Amino acid sequence: MLTPRIEAIRQNYVNAKPQISTQRAKIWTESHKATEGKPVAIRRAQAFYDCCDRLEVHIFDGELVVGAIGEFRKCGILTPEFSWLWVDREMDSFATRPQDPYLMTDEQRAFVRKEIFPYWKGKSLEEAFLARLPEDTRKIGVDTGILDNDSKWRQAVGEITPDYQDVLFKKGFGGIIREAQDHISKLDPTDPKDLEKKDFYESVLLTSKGIIRYANRYAEAADKMAETEKDPGRAAELRQIAANCRRVPENPPESFYEAIQFLWFVQVGGILSENPLSLNPGRFDQYMDPYYEADLKASAITPDFAQELVDALWLKYSEWVWTISANTADYFAGYNQFQNLTVGGKTREGRDGTNPVTFMALKATEEVKSHQPGLSVRVHADCPKEFLDGVTHLVSKGTGFPAIHSDSVGYQMLLNAGYEPDDARDWNNCGCVVPHYRKTGEWTAAVNMNFGSALEYALNEGRSLMTGEKMGLDEKPAGTFASYEEVEDAFYRQFDNLCRHAIILTVEAQRLHVEMVPRPFLSSCIEHCMESGTDLSRGGAKYNIGPVITGIGLAVVANSLAAVKKLVFEDKVCDMATLAKALQADWVGYEDLREQAKAAPKYGNDDDYVDSIAQKLANHFYHEIHQYKDIFGSPFLTAFMGISNYIPMGRVLGATPDGRKGGEPSSEGVSPFVGTDTSTPLAAMRSTAKLNQEVHSGGTLLNLRLNPELVATKRGQANLGAMVQTLFSLGAFHVQFNCISSETLRDAQAHPENYKDLLVRVAGYSTQFVNLSKSMQDAIIARTEHAC
Amino acid sequence: MGGYLMQTQHFSVNDGEGIRTTLFLAGCPLRCAWCANPEGQTCRNPMTRWAETEEVLRELEGQRIFYRFSGGGVTFSGGEATMQGDFLRELTDALYDDGCSLALETCGVFDFDALAPTLAKMDQIFYDLKHLDPEVHRKYTGMDNKLILENLPRVAALGPDLVVRVPVVKGFNGDDSSLEAIFRWLADRVPGGKIELLPYHRFGEEKYRQLGRPLPPASFTVPSPEELDRWRAGAADHGLTVVSYR
C-alpha cells in the first residue's frame, strides 16, 4: 500500500503534462558568454556551477527527496550546446506532436529564439557534426531511418553508471574536491600533458563545488520553509530534508535516507550537465542495503519509511523528462529516460546478492507503477526462490517490468568485451538491455542499423523501394540472381556497406565529443577518470568499451531470406524477377504470392530452416562490426536491442519477401516478427537462444506476450520462473513479458492479422486467440478482465 | 510402430506438474454427450493423424529442457490413451527409460491386467469419475460404470499420485446428490484421495462444427464458480483433498 503522500505525488505524475523549463538554457548560455576563450572543460564546468548557484529552488508538496531541474514538477530542460536547431524547428508543435509531447509557452519560445539560439548558432554539436560528415554517409545516416545516431549529436551521450560503491558513497563530492586539489598540486605547469590534466581537475573542482552549492541552497530553503510551515509534522520533515542536504552529497551518506537523497542529487547533476539518456542508478540493492541494515539495527528507520523513500525516489526518477527531437522520440518513445536500476544477481565475490532492498525495489515498481527507473533483475541458476517468485509475481501485474536478465550470460558478455572477471561479475544494466559496469565509458547505443534496408538494396539495384533513390551499392537486377547464394552474397555486400557507414557516423561523433563536450561532472563519478586526470569523453574510464551498433530487423531479414530460398529456389513458385516486382508493387496484384511468402518458415518457431539463417546473419554482424575500432582503439560491439526503433525503421522500409507490407514495423531485438511465432513461447525461446547471444556484448532483447491468466496463480508464476531459467540455460540474455490486457484482446479481435501469436489459455490447454470464434473470444475477454 | 494422434500440445500447464507436453491419443470407448474433444472419439477422422513413435519422441526432444526446469514431463490424454495400448506402451517405455516424468489422463475403461505394467510407470494418473449411477452413466456416456469403479481402486493400489477428476456438467451430474454420492464413494475407497472438479465448458463446439456433427444438448449448462466452491467444500468435508492445476 502506498502512503497517501506517495499516492498524491503519483497522481500528479500520472496526470500532469511535462513542461519545458528554459532556466537551465538561460544560465548555461549566459555563463558561456562570460567564459569565451577559456578551455572548453572549464567553460562547461563553470556553466554547471552557475546553474547550481542560480537555478530557482523548488521543494514541491510532500516531497521527501528534493532537487528540481526547473520550475515544474514534471519538467524537461534544453541543452542548446548540443543542438538548438531541432528545438527551433520543432518547438512550435511540441504540445501537439504525437509522441512524447511537452508544454511550452509562447513567451518561452520567443525568449529562446531571441536570447538563447542566436548565441549557439554555429557553435552546437549538431552543426559541427553535420559540417564534418562525409556527404555519402550523411545521405544514408541523417534522419533517414536507415542508419540513425542522432541521439549522439543532437543529445548528450549519457550511458553512464555512476560509481556509488567506490567513489561517491566513499568520498562524497567533498572528498572528490580534496582529491582534485591534491592532484593539481602535483602537476607540472611546464608539461603540456599535465596542463590538460589541470583543466580536467579544475573542471571537476567546479562541478563538485557546484553540486554541493546546489544541495546547500536546498538546505537553506527547506529550513526557511520549516519556519513558516503550520503543520508540525511537515516542518519536522523539512528540517530533516535540510539536514540531509547539508550532509550530502558533500559527505558520504550516513543513513539510508541520506543515501537516497544523494542518489537524486547525482541524477540532478547529470541532467543539468548534459540531459542524458541512460544515467543508470546501477546495482541499487547492493550499495543501499548496508545503510538499510545499519539503520534498522540502530532503530533509525522503519521498513515502511524506507519503502516510502524508495517510492519517492522512483517518482523523482519519473518526473524529469528527457527532452528529445521528434525523430529521437520515435526511437525512444514514452518519455523514457532509460535510468536503468538493477537488482539481484551475484556479488563480485560470487555469492547471491539478494537482500531486503532487492524486494523493496520490486515492491516500489509494483505499487508506484512508474515508468522509471527501468527495473532490471539478474537471475542466476541458484537464485533464491523468493526472488524468482518476486520477479514472476511482478510480471503477473502486467506492467512489463522487470526486464529479466541472465546473470551468467551478462557476465559472459562482459568477459567477451574485455572486462576482468570480478568486474564482469559485478555488472549492472545500462539503458535498455546493455550489460554494463560502473567503471566504464561506452556508447551503448551508438547507431541503429536497419538490416532490412540492406536486403532492399540487394533486391532493388541499390535503390530504396519507397523513394526510388539510390542509397546502397550498385547491384544487378534481381531477376538475374541465379541461386540463393547469389542473393545472400548481394545482401551481405550491402549490409557490410551499411556497417561501414555506421562506423563513420560514430567515430566522427566521438571525435567531436572529445573536442566539444567534455563531461566533468559525470567523469568525477567514475573512479579511473580521477586517477588518470582524463575526462570520460577522452577515454578516462578504467574500461573504454567499444561503441555498440544495434541491429534492427533480424527476424524480418531472416524470414525474408528464407522466403526467397523456399519460394524462388526450392519450390519455384515464382522467379526472382516476379518477386522483385511484387515487392515494388507492395504486393498489390500479388496477393497469392504474398500468402505463400507468409506461409514460408518464420523465425521464432524452433525451425532450423529459418533459424539457421538468423544465426548466420547475427554471427556475420558481429564479425563485420567487431573488426572496426573506435577512437580509443576499442573494437566496436553489436547488439540486438529493442527500444521503439523498429517502428521508424519499418516506416522507411518497402515490402519485404517475408510477406510484410511496406512501411509496417520491422522486428525488434532478437524477438520474432510480430504475429509469426505461432507455435509456443517455448519454441520462440528456443529460436532466439540459437543465436550466439553472448558475443553481442551490447545486449540482446526478447519480448514475449503472455496471457495474464497464465501467471495469475502462484503455480503459473512458478512455471514462468521455470521458463525463464530454461531460456537462460539455453544461452539467452534477456526476456521481458507483456501480459496482455483485455484492451489488447479487443484489438486482436479487430485486427487478428497482428496477433497471430497471441496465446490464451482456454480450458486446460492454451491456444491462439485468433483461432477462436467470436463468441468464445468474448468469453475469454470477459474472463481476462476478471483475471486482471 | 505408431498410432493416431489428435494433437501434440506443448506448453501444457494444467494437466500435471510443471510445463508439459500433452499427447492426445485418438480413440475412446465412451461417447460422452458433453465431450469437449469429439475428434478423439475415433482414431481416423479429418482431425487426427498417424504418427510413428520415433517421430513423436523426436518432437519431444526440444521440450525436455523445459520439463527439467519446471518439474514437468509428458501427459497422455485423448480420446482415451489406453485405447491404443501398444502405442501408449511404446511411448511410455521410451520416455520412462529417459527419466521423463509421465502422467496419464484416463476414463478408467481398460483391461487393467494388460495395462498394469504401463500404468506402473506413470508418476501421476488423472482418473475420471463421472457418475455413480450405472444407468445415468450409460445414458450419457454409452457405457455403464462397472469397469470404471472396479479399476479405480486397482490403479490406486499401484501407488501413483492419483487425482480423481470429475467433469461437473449441470444437467448430468452437476447437482448435490450426484456429487455427494461420488464424494462418499471415493472417501470410502480412497480415503483422503485427491479430487479435482472441472467445470463443463463449451469450447469444443467449434470442433463439432468442423466434423459436421450436432452440438451437445443445450440442457447441459456450466456450473457457477459459487456452486463449484460449494461442491469443493463438500468434497473436503468427506476428507478428500481438493486440488487444482490452474
pLDDT tens column, A578-637: 999 999 999 999 999 999 999 999 999 999 999 999 999 999 999 999 999 999 999 999
Q: Which residues on A lie below 8 Å from B201 (Cβ)?
A: 763
Q: In one letter, which amino acid is A187?
A: L
Q: In one letter, which amino acid is A15?
A: N
Q: How far is CA B134 from CA A38, A140, B28, B130, B172, in A?
A: 100, 79, 18, 10, 13
* Angle A621-A624-A630 from CA coordinates, rounded to 5°: 115
Q: What is the pLDDT of residues B12-65, one digit of tens each?
A: 998 899 999 999 999 999 999 999 999 999 999 999 999 999 999 999 999 999
Q: How far is CA A523 from CA A168, A215, A266, A419, B137, in A?
A: 12, 19, 12, 19, 80
- What does the pLDDT read at residue A13? 86
Helix (H, G, I), strand (E, B) or coil at A109: helix
- What does the pLDDT read at residue A784? 45
Q: What is the pLDDT of residues A325-337, one digit of tens each?
A: 887 777 666 677 8
Spatial CA neighbour of A26 closest among A50, A3, A4, A5: A50
- What does the pLDDT read at residue A767? 57
Between CA A666 and CA A459 the distance in angstroms is 17
- Please give the grid coordinates belonging to residue A32: 558561456
- What does the pLDDT read at residue B94? 97
- State how beta strands A147-148 and A447-450 pair: antiparallel
Q: What is the pLDDT of residues A672-701, one digit of tens each?
A: 988 788 888 899 999 999 999 999 999 999
| Superfamily designation of domain B2-242 | Aldolase class I (3.20.20.70)
* Residue B203: HSE in the Cβ half-sphere, 13 Å Cα cutoff: 19
Closest by Cβ to A764, choosing from B11, B14, B69: B14
- What does the pLDDT read at residue A785? 46
- What does the pLDDT read at residue A760? 63
Between CA A231 and CA B141 the distance in angstroms is 75
Position A786 pLDDT exceeds 50: no
Q: Would an 8 Å CB–CB cutoff place A606 in contact with chain B? A: yes
Between CA A232 and CA A617 the distance in angstroms is 65
Between CA A314 and CA A10 the distance in angstroms is 10
- Please give the grid coordinates belonging to residue A267: 541524477
Between CA B233 and CA B236 the distance in angstroms is 5
- What does the pLDDT read at residue A156? 92
Position A771 pLDDT exceeds 80: no
- How many angstroms from the chain centroid is the CA of residue A644? 10
Spatial CA neighbour of A2 closest among A394, A365, A392, A371: A365
Contact B203 A776 (CB under 8 A): yes
Position A324 pLDDT exceeds 90: no
Please report how the helices B112-119 and B85-97 are oriented relative to each other, as an axis angle in degrees rounded to 10. 20
Q: What is the pLDDT of residues A439-496, one digit of tens each?
A: 999 999 999 999 999 999 999 999 999 999 999 999 999 999 999 999 999 999 999 9
Contact A719 B10 (CB under 8 A): no
Q: Which residues on B lie below 8 Å from A726 (Cβ)?
A: 65-66, 68-70
Q: Which residues on A lie below 8 Å from B203 (Cβ)?
A: 762-763, 776
- What does the pLDDT read at residue A643? 67
- What does the pLDDT read at residue A19? 95
Mutate to test the interface with A, among B10, B11, B228 (most CBs of A within 10 A): B11
Location of C-alpha cell 520462440: A684
Least confident of A63-77, A437-451, A707-721: A707-721
Model confidence at A765, pLDDT cuts 50, 70, 90, reads very low
A156: distance to nearest CA of chain B, Å?
43
Q: Would an 8 Å CB–CB cutoff place A541 in contact with chain B? A: no
Q: Which residues on A lie below 8 Å from B245 (Cβ)?
A: 715
- What does the pLDDT read at residue A787? 33
Position A158 pLDDT exceeds 80: yes
Q: What is the pLDDT of residues A381-407, one digit of tens each?
A: 999 999 999 999 999 987 778 999 999
Position A77 pLDDT exceeds 70: yes
Q: Would an 8 Å CB–CB cutoff place A57 in contact with chain B? A: no
Helix (H, G, I), strand (E, B) or coil at A447: strand
Helix (H, G, I), strand (E, B) or coil at A696: coil
Contact A682 B63 (CB under 8 A): yes
Residue range A750-761: mean pLDDT, rounded: 73
Buried b (16+ CB within 10 A) or exposed e, A391-420: bbbbbbbbbebbbbbbbbbbbbbbbbbbbe
Q: Which residues on B lie below 8 Å from A681 (Cβ)?
A: 11
Contact A710 B72 (CB under 8 A): no
Residue range A49-62: mean pLDDT, rounded: 98
- What does the pLDDT read at residue B184? 97
Least confident of A365-369, A776-780, B151-155: A776-780
- What does the pLDDT read at residue A595? 97
Q: What is the DSSP string of B138-193?
A: HHHHSS-SHHHHHHHHHHHHH--EEEEEEEE-BTTT-SHHHHHHHHHHHHHHSTT-
What is chain A's alpha carbon radius of gyration, rounded to the nearest angstrom? 26
- What does the pLDDT read at residue A705? 76
What is chain B's alpha carbon radius of gyration, rounded to the nearest angstrom? 17
ipTM: 0.90
Location of C-alpha cell 558475443: A695
Name B105's bridge partners: B126
Backbone dihedral region for residue A401 (phi beyond 0: left; psi -120 to 50: alpha; all else: beta): beta
Residue range A216-229: mean pLDDT, rounded: 98
Spatial CA neighbour of A306 closest among A319, A288, A318, A287: A288
Predicted model pTM: 0.92
Backbone angles phi, psi at A74, to 5 degrees: -105, 105
A531: distance to nearest CA of chain B, Å?
47
Instruction: Find the closest chain A residue to B245 by CA distance.
Output: A715
Average pLDDT, chain A: 93
- How many angstroms from the chain centroid is the CA of residue A150? 14
- What does the pLDDT read at residue A766? 43
- Please give the grid coordinates belonging to residue A253: 551518506
Between CA B205 and CA B220 the distance in angstroms is 13
Between CA A73 and CA A59 the distance in angstroms is 9
- What does the pLDDT read at residue A333? 64
Position A759 pLDDT exceeds 80: no
Q: Which residues on B lie below 8 Å from A773 (Cβ)?
A: 206
B9: distance to nearest CA of chain A, Å?
8
Spatial CA neighbour of A593 closest among A575, A610, A608, A609: A575
Between CA B89 and CA A419 the distance in angstroms is 54
- What does the pLDDT read at residue A768? 63
- Please give the grid coordinates belonging to residue A179: 582529491
Between CA A404 and CA A751 the distance in angstroms is 29
Name B73's bridge partners: B101
Least confident of A50-64, A99-113, B199-213: B199-213
Contact A723 B198 (CB under 8 A): no
Residue range A43-64: mean pLDDT, rounded: 98
Mutate to test the interface with A, among B7, B203, B244, B245 (most CBs of A within 10 A): B203
Model confidence at A707, pLDDT cuts 50, 70, 90, reads confident
Residue range A707-722: mean pLDDT, rounded: 89
Buried b (16+ CB within 10 A) or exposed e, A597-607: bbebbbbbbbb
Location of C-alpha cell 526478447: A702
Residue A343 burial (10 A CB sphere; 0-12, 13-18, 19+): buried
Residue A115 burial (10 A CB sphere; 0-12, 13-18, 19+): middle
Contact B65 A725 (CB under 8 A): no
- What does the pLDDT read at residue A327? 76
Spatial CA neighbour of B232 closest among B199, B210, B204: B199
Residues 6+ apart with CB under 8 A from A582: A574, A589, A590, A593, A594, A655
Between CA A68 and CA A78 the distance in angstroms is 14
- What does the pLDDT read at residue A602? 97
Position A231 pLDDT exceeds 60: yes
The enclosing H or E element of A773 equals: none
A761: distance to nearest CA of chain B, Å?
9
Q: Is the dihedral of CA A306, A308, A309, A311 positive or negative?
A: positive
Location of C-alpha cell 460422452: B32
Question: With a cut of 70, which residues of chain B have pLDDT below it?
Answer: none
Between CA A347 and CA A91 the distance in angstroms is 46
Instruction: Find the closest chain A residue to B199 by CA distance.
Output: A763
Q: Which residues on A lie below 8 Å from B198 (Cβ)?
A: 764
